[in-house]
């Protein structure tokens, strides 16, 4: 007898057409016939793009239900719960930017904005302080650390990070830039202010803070280690492990030590400047990076059965 599972798989093989409707109006936008059952959602997007050139694949979201979850590009039609015809619902995600352009936009802004305050260009502070330099050594050191952080990020974006073909909506990029640029202006305003007060414990506090800020080296080491992983598409063949580099030994305890080191660097800068806006930026960054780390940790544990169960997402033994 023909079991239901066999019948279902047989019906999947007979897919001949795909109908694409607008998720809001339910109006038919495109009808594709003679579609191979092993075609992916990405293939469908490419075919749809030929009919509507303005909606390039990265701009499309296709769903099985108007309010459902967007299908992934690598989802195959034969694996979806559809019969001999498939109805997909389209949503326009808006203009998109590639990840390289997104990161360049996010990081160039804070670097340049901070320097405007550091050099005290006109119309920022009282005119008598225009183009003057601070008398406090920690102000110069803070500028060097802040600039180094974003120069390192720009270098990693261009030469280290490997990005998939994924994109970010332009409106989300604008929001992110407003966050990074706005915080850079806020903390730079106070650190470089003519009335800025140095840390309470003077040079001793600054020295210890600078040591903590050297977490930047660990952050770079982890990014370099992740770059060396062999990947196939968006999925890595193996999960990251410690190497001979001591900075990567944090992989013994956490899944995302790059975030751990990043938070550490900002904690160092917060202690060094003793500035509330820097501390707030560090705290909010820690919350966001914890969310990212938990997501990555969950992915690792789901994809790799031999993934170490004693690793935590971002903080050893804690979180």
Counting residues of the chain whose pLDDT is more than 90, the rounded percentage is: 59
Residue 65 maps to a domain: yes
Instruction: Look at residue 203 and tell me whether its pLDDT is greater than 70.
Output: yes
Same domain for 195 and 237? yes
Please give the structure tokens belonging to residue 108: 């160039």
Residue 141 sits in the same domain as residue 216:
yes
Would the pLDDT of 232 be above 90? Answer: no
Question: Looking at the domain assignment, is residue 220 inside a domain?
Answer: yes
* Cα distances (angstroms) measured from residue 247 to each of 96, 252, 256, 257: 35, 11, 12, 9
Query: Where in the sequence is the domain holding 278, given as residue range(s)?
Result: 97-303
Is 255 inside a domain boundary?
Answer: yes
Query: Of 46, 67, 94, which residue is a domain's last?
Result: 94
Confirm whether 309 is domain-assigned.
no
The arithmetic mean of pLDDT across residues 12-33, rounded, is: 82
Mean pLDDT, residues 182-210 = 96
| pLDDT score, position 181 | 97
- The answer to whether 173 touches 108, Cβ cutoff 8 Å, is no
Give the number of domains in the chain. Answer: 2
Statement: residue 29 has pLDDT above 70: yes
DSSP one-letter string for 85-111: EEEEEEEE---EEEHHHHHHHHHHHHH
For residue 165, name the pLDDT band (cuts at 50, 70, 90): low
Residue 30 CA to its chain's centroid (Å)? 33
* Coil, strand or helix at 76: strand
Predicted local distance difference test score (pLDDT) of residue 72: 87
Same domain, 211 and 126: yes
**Would you say residue 5 has pLDDT above 60?**
no
| pLDDT the model gives residue 128 | 87
Kindly state whether residue 254 falls inside one of the protein's structural domains.
yes
Q: Is residue 317 part of a domain?
A: no
| 104 lies in the same domain as 56 | no
At 245, is the pLDDT very low, low, confident or very high (cuts 50, 70, 90)? Answer: very high
Lowest-confidence pick of 81-85, 90-94, 123-127, 230-234:
230-234
Q: Average pLDDT, stretch 230-251?
A: 78
Is 41 inside any structural domain? Answer: yes
Contact predicate 174/102, CB 8 Å:
no
Q: Would the pLDDT of 6 be above 60?
A: no
pLDDT tens, position by position, 67-82: 888 888 888 888 888 8
Any idea which of 15-19, 32-36, 46-50, 51-55 has the lowest mean pLDDT?
15-19
Instruction: Report how many helices (DSSP H) and strands (DSSP E) the chain contains, helices first.
Output: 9, 8
Packing angle, helices 257-273 and 137-159, rounded to 10: 160
Local confidence band at 12 (pLDDT 50, 70, 90 cut-offs): very low
List of residues 6+ apart from 257 with CB closer than 8 A: 218, 222, 247, 248, 250, 251
* Within-domain flag for 308: no
CATH code for the domain of 31: 3.10.20.90
Chain-wide mean pLDDT for the chain?
89
| pLDDT the model gives residue 150 | 97
Token reading at 25: 């109006």
Q: What is the pLDDT of residue 7?
A: 47
pLDDT confidence band for 231 (50 / 70 / 90): low
Structure tokens at 236: 């890595």
Q: Are residues 141 and 52 in the same domain?
A: no
Residues 186 and 125 grouped into a single domain: yes
70 shares its domain with 27: yes
Q: What distance in Å separates the CA atoms of residue 214 and residue 152, rounded to the nearest whole number?
A: 13
Domain finish residue from 94, 128, 151: 94
Tokens of 187: 């903390």
| 279 shares a domain with 194 | yes
Of 71, 94, 117, which closes a domain?
A: 94
Within this chain, do residues 108 and 81 fall inside the same structural domain, yes or no? no
- The answer on pLDDT for 131 being more than 80 is yes
* 297 and 249, same domain (yes or no): yes
């Amino acid at each position: 007898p023909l079991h239901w599972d066999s019948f279902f798989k047989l019906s999947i093989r007979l897919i001949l057409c795909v109908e694409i409707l607008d998720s809001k109006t339910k109006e038919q936008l495109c009808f594709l016939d003679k579609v191979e059952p092993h075609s992916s959602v990405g293939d469908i997007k490419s075919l749809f793009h030929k009919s509507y050139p303005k909606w390039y694949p990265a701009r499309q979201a296709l769903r099985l239900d108007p309010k459902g979850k967007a299908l992934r590009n690598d989802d195959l039609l034969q694996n979806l719960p559809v019969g001999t015809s498939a109805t997909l619902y389209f949503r326009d995600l808006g203009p998109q930017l590639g990840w390289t352009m997104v990161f360049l936009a996010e990081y160039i802004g804070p670097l340049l904005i901070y320097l405007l305050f550091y050099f005290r260009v006109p119309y920022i502070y009282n005119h008598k302080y225009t183009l003057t330099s601070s008398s406090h050594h920690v102000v110069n050191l803070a500028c060097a650390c802040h600039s180094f952080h974003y120069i390192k990020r720009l270098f990693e974006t261009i030469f280290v990070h490997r990005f998939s073909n994924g994109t970010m909506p332009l409106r989300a990029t604008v929001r992110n830039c407003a966050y990074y640029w706005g915080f850079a202006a806020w903390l730079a305003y106070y650190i470089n202010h003519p009335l800025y007060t140095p840390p309470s414990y003077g040079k001793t506090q600054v020295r210890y803070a600078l040591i903590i800020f050297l977490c930047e080296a660990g952050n770079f080491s982890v990014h370099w280690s992740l770059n060396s992983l062999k990947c196939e598409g968006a999925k890595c063949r193996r999960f990251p492990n410690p190497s001979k580099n001591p900075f990567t030994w944090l992989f013994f305890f956490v899944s995302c030590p790059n975030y751990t080191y990043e938070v550490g660097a900002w904690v160092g800068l917060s202690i060094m400047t003793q500035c509330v806006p820097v501390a707030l930026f560090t705290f909010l960054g820690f919350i966001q990076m914890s969310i990212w780390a938990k997501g990555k940790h969950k992915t690792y544990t789901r994809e790799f059965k031999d993934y170490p169960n004693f690793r935590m997402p971002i903080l050893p033994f804690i979180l």
